Structure formats: structure tokens, C-alpha cells
Structure 1
Amino acid sequence: MPEGDVVFRTAARLRAALVGKDLTRSDFRVPRYATVDLVGQRVDSVGSYGKHLFIRTLDVTIHTHLRMDGEWRIFHCGQRWTKPRVSARLVLATDEVEAVGFSLGTVEVLRGADEHTAIDHLGPDLLGPGWDAAEAVRRLSAAPDRAIGLALLDQRNLAGIGNIYRSEVCYLRRVHPATPVGVVPDLPALVDEAHRVLTAAAHQPPWRPLVYRRTHRPCQRCGTALLARLLEPTGADADRIDQRERGIYFCPRCQPAPSA
């Protein structure tokens, strides 16, 4: 699943292509919005919050979420698309370019005044100008028995982290992902690490993983073979977290398992 850094860079590309331009075509390939016509409207801004992306005109906000497989690509008008046309869910065109959202998990059109409803439930945005580390720590600390590897995935605590960066952050802080939040040695430092890592990935790509998808390769600190395990959720987490998101990567020596 694309994480906050990917969405942040996607917003920057769409901003450069669309902001200040009048739309000459809008094609919503979502039944609920099939009749929406934004031709003639000017794109005022494009922004992101965690994994959510917003394209704004004077009248409406287009809210999209990439989910597992979504992607935005930009083409010159007349250029052949590089992904199957059947997977396009939204097309926004100007005189010069076509911005095409492929396999988007969420597409909705909101009144500008209602944009907040898409993100009111989320924690602080790791890549936003209003990043609030103390609030992120407060939200994480509200469930001290929850595994930190699961808590970091919960966008209600802090927005933007997915499976890649939860593995990376836990590794950098030498914290086993199954460690309960309440016994993480320095939770504020871990939150600061998350902010540092995601900011670096967003502004200085590509991020070169230290542990993610490096199973059986040597740890860059101690040489121990890295492991991948399913971090099995319990209670409410069992219903909330997708099986594909549970695999987490770590060093068994640098990140010792918490005591029972």
C-alpha cells in the first residue's frame, strides 16, 4: 500500500500539472459521481494529509485515496496511457495534460466546507505543516497494552505510516514490533524517528530499506539474519487490520522480543 511519502510526492506532481489551470474535461468513472462535470473550473490547490489526497477547485474538493494499488499518472494530451484504460477511475484534463487516477480505492466529491470530514478521525499528519508530535504520543499512549507495530499502523494515532515505515522505525529505535506501547523505552523519540524517516523518504527519495523485505539478509548493525513475522492482532485490531499488512521485518538480536 502506498504510504504517506508516496501520496505527498503525488500531490506535488499533480500540483505542478494542474494548479492554476482550467479543467477542459472531467471524467468520474464512479457511478455515484458519473454526472459530475467540472469543465471550466480552475484547480486552486492540491494537498495531502497522511494517505489522503485532495484536489480543490473553487466549488468542490475531490478526495482520493490510493488504497492498495492506486496510482496517479500524468500524460501530455494525446499521449498513450501506460496503464490499462479500464483501470482508470478519474480523469482530469487541461489544455496540456491529463491526470489519470488508476485503481483508486476512494473517489469522492465534497463541498470545500466538508473536506474536513474525510480526515477528522485521523491523527497528526507526519508530513503536514501542523505536525504535532506531542499529540501523536498522547494518542499512542491511550492504549498502552497495544503492540507498537500495530499502533503505528493505526492512522487515528498518526497519519502516513504503513507497513514499510513501521518496520523501519522500530528497527532504528531497536524496539521489537510486539512491544506494548506502554513499555517502549522512549516513545517520544520513536515518534520523532517516524517523523524524520517519513520526511526523508518524501523529500529525498528513494528511501533504501534497512529491514523491510530483507528477510534472511544480515542486519546492517550486527550481522544477524533478519526475520519476517506476522504480528497477529487481537481484540478490535483483528477486525481492523488487513492480513496483508501484518508481516513485519526486524532483527531478533537488535530488537529482542518483549518479556512475557
Structure 2
Amino acid sequence: MPEGDTVWMAAKRLDAALAGGTVTRSELRVPRLATADLRGRRVLGVAARGKHLLARLSGGLTLHSHLRMDGSWRVFAAGERWRGGPGHQIRAVLATEERVAVGYRLQVLDLLRTADEEGVVGHLGPDLLGADWDPDEALRRLLADPARPLGSALLDQRNLAGIGNVYMAELCFLARTTPWLPVGELNAPERLLTTAKRLLEANRERPDRTTTTPTTPGARGSRLHVYGRAGRPCLVCGAPVRHADESHGTPGRERPTYWCPGCQRGPAPSGGPRPGGGRRPAGGR
């Protein structure tokens, strides 16, 4: 599932391509919107809210989409061949005289009144990349259920918007705790939120997400500490990175979890570190 920085970048790309232009072609290829015609409307702008995309049009309409697991918006010059997948995967086409935006594999696509946007994004917590970012409110929401596992609390967009599975795993590693630690037991949770914002801001302008730094011990060009590195040695302590399937996230849409049993303290599935176990690497926080 795309993270908040990916959606922010998509919104920026769509806004640069469409904002200020007049829609000359519109196709919404989902049954309930098949008869909608947006031609003649001016594109006022495209914004991201957490992992949601909001394309605002004149006349008080908003085209709302969510990329979910593998959706994407591609932008092409007028007359350019579309590349992004087979035609049957296209769910939306929005074009001006100069640019064409094509939405592939969009599992969520709605047309609503701009005044009603809160109906689809009003439940979200403070947006890590938004003007509404409020660290105190995000902290309050994150700690509202102290017994909840940290990983699940971070993935819950009602607490703070923009963190996906990659950042969840990486943030837990940087906090030196496992994703199963009750969030109420986390030391300095405000520091975790500061790190989350710093990482998303650092990555929103670049295509290759990176959470390591040139000074990360043993990085050797690796961009991530633990995510996607199951069985490979931890960059810091050398212990094999562990992996658990479908352990965090919304019921029915759980995500795999990655962690280092040597660096991260706290509870973990069978075979992982004991609560309070593991050794703290040099320079750990």
C-alpha cells in the first residue's frame, strides 16, 4: 500500500499537470459513475490528505481516489501513448488540452461535493505532510489505547495519517522496540512522531524511499533497515531480520511485519525476543 509520501508526490504531479486547465475528456470507468461527465469544468487543484487524493473541480465537485495496494495515477502529454497497465485496469481518465491523467487499478473512486469531503477524510488524524499537522493531537490519539500494539496504532490512520507498513517497520526499528509493544509502554513517544515527520518529509520528493543514512552502521547501500529484509543480517547488529505474516493493520487487511530480534526490545511472535530482551546496539535510542 502506498505510503503518505508516495500519495503526496502523486498529488503534486497531478496538480502540476492539471491545475488551471479545463477538462476536455473525462471517463470514470466504474458502474456508479459511468454517466458522469466532467468536461468543461476547471481543475482547481489536486491535494493529498493522508493516503487519499482529492481532485477539486469548478462547480463544487471533488474526484476522490485512494490507491490502496497497487493503484496509481500516471500523467502523459496529450497524444502520448499511455503506459501503466492494460486498458482493462484503467478506472479514470481526466484530460486537459495539454495533459492526460490516467488512474490505474483504483479500488476507491468517488465523485462528491467538495463541501462533503469531510465525509471521506474527516475521520483521519493529523496529516504528517499536511498543513493540519498537530503533534500534540497525534500523540493524544496514538496513546488513547495504551494496550494496543505499537505497530497497529501507527498504521491506524485515525491516529495520524500517512504511515504505511514500510514506515511502521522502520519507525519501530529506529525506536528500538518491536511492533508488538503496547503503545503505552513506549519510551518518549513524542520522539517517534518527530522521527516519522522527518522521514516522510525527507522522502516526499524522491522516488527511492530511504530511512538509513550514510552513517548507519553496515548500511552498504541499503535504503531500509528491516522492511523487506527477512533473513538478511541486520545492518546494525548482524542478527537475521525476522518476518511475521499478516500481523498488524486493519482486520482483514493485515500487513507483514519485519523486525530485528537483536536490536528491538519487546514482545514478538514465538521465536522472537522475550519482552525486554535483545541487546541495545551502540548509538541506539
Deviation digits for residues 85-111 of structure 1 (CA, Å, limit 9, x no counterpart): 111101001111210000101111111
Cα gap change, 1:89/1:255 in structure 2, threshold over 3 Å: closer, same or farther? same
Shift of 1:205: 4.0
Aligned partner (choices 233, 239, 259) of residue 218 of structure 1: 233
Q: How far, CA to CA, are the matches of 2:226 and 2:189 in structure 1?
A: 20
Contact 1:178 1:231 survives alignment (8 Å): no
Residue identity matched to 1:73: R
Whose helix fraction is larger, Structure 1's or Structure 2's? 1
Percent identity reads: 49
Q: Over aligned residue pairs, what C-alpha RMSD do you find?
A: 1.5
Q: 1:7 aligned to 2:16?
A: no
Q: How far, CA to CA, are the matches of 1:159 and 1:240 in structure 2?
A: 18
Structure 1 residue runs of 5 or longer lacking an equivalent are none
- Partner of residue 242, structure 2: 227
Residue identity matched to 2:259: F
Contact 1:169 1:197 survives alignment (8 Å): no
Q: 1:240 aligned to 2:245?
A: no
Contact 2:178 2:264 survives alignment (8 Å): yes
What is the correspondence of 1:37-56 to structure 2 with a 5 Å cutoff? Answer: 37-56=37-56
Give TM-score scaled by structure 1 length: 0.93
- Partner of residue 107, structure 1: 109
- Partner of residue 194, structure 2: 192
Contact 1:145 1:182 survives alignment (8 Å): yes
Q: Which moved more, 1:222-231 or 1:130-139?
A: 222-231
Query: Which segments of structure 1 move beyond 4 Å, counting only runs of 4 or more?
Result: none
What is the correspondence of 1:1-260 to structure 2 with a 5 Å cutoff? Answer: 1-59=1-59, 60-82=61-83, 83-207=85-209, 208-230=223-245, 232=247, 240-243=251-254, 245=255, 247-258=256-267, 259=275
- Partner of residue 282, structure 2: none
Q: How far, CA to CA, are the matches of 1:191 and 1:145 in structure 2?
A: 18
Q: How far, CA to CA, are the matches of 1:31 and 1:159 in structure 2?
A: 29
Shift of 1:230: 3.6
Deviation digits for residues 127-160 of structure 1 (CA, Å, limit 9, x no counterpart): 1012111111100111100000111111111111
Give TM-score scaled by structure 2 length: 0.85
SS in 2 for 1:152: helix
